[in-house]
């Protein structure tokens, strides 16, 4: 199974996926986490951040997620960039697929700015930021939308994702009983 979590930089994808992973891994040994930033640092150091390189990066993540899922692992993926063709590839090639949108607005992520990314672009120190000078194409038909007003904390968002996957729901319930 592939659980594809996407949203703007600063939306909470990595935080929520790490929380799910850390809490559930002892009870769900087949759970793995693929974080876009970690993959970029380890496998994609040859890529930049412009849109063509972002497509190449996501294509690599997709293939890796499918490879692991085909080995009966539950793959949590946390990535920023999305476009309709890439998301459709996921649906077509992963029979067990859950698409999660961390629906945090650009205003909110700019205020959070945990990596200083939005500050750097505002000062002209960087470019190629999704949602600013690279189009943000949120999923048009996500299976689950994490709304920060209804799930205001990482544990609430993690619980919402866990409840959407029976194997994870059982483990989450056992931990929080």
Q: What is the mean pLDDT of residues 122-131?
A: 91
pTM above 0.85, yes or no: yes
Under the banding of pLDDT at 50, 70 and 90, the label for residue 1 is: very high
Domain parsing of the chain, residue ranges: 2-175
Q: Does pLDDT of 85 surpass 90?
A: yes
User: What local confidence, expressed as pLDDT, does residue 113 receive?
Assistant: 85
Q: The domain 2-175: what is its CATH number?
A: 3.40.50.300
Q: Does pLDDT of 75 surpass 90?
A: yes
DSSP per position, 28-53: -TTEEEEEHHHHHHHH-TT--SSHHH
Q: What is the mean pLDDT of residues 72-85?
A: 95
* Average pLDDT score over the chain: 94
The sheet with strand 31-35 has its strands ordered as 31-35, 74-79, 2-6, 97-102, 144-146
User: What local confidence, expressed as pLDDT, does residue 61 receive?
Assistant: 97
Residue 150 CB neighbours (<10 A): 11
Q: Does pLDDT of 177 surpass 80?
A: no
């Amino acid at each position: 199974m592939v659980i594809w979590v996407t949203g703007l930089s600063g939306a909470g994808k990595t935080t929520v996926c790490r929380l799910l992973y850390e809490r559930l891994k002892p009870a769900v040994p087949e759970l793995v986490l693929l974080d876009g930033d970690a993959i970029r640092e380890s496998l994609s150091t040859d890529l930049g951040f412009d849109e063509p390189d972002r497509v190449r990066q996501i294509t690599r993540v997709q293939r890796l997620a499918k490879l692991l899922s085909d080995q009966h692992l539950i793959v949590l993926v946390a990535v920023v960039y999305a476009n309709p063709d890439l998301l459709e590839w996921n649906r077509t090639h992963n029979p067990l697929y859950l698409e999660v949108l961390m629906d945090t607005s650009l205003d909110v992520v700019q205020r959070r700015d945990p990596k200083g990314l939005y500050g750097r672009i505002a000062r002209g120190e960087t470019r190629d930021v999704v949602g600013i000078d690279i189009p943000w194409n949120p999923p048009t038909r996500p299976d689950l939308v994490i709304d920060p007003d209804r799930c205001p904390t990482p544990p609430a968002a993690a619980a919402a994702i866990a409840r959407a996957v029976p194997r994870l729901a059982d483990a989450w319930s056992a931990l929080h009983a």
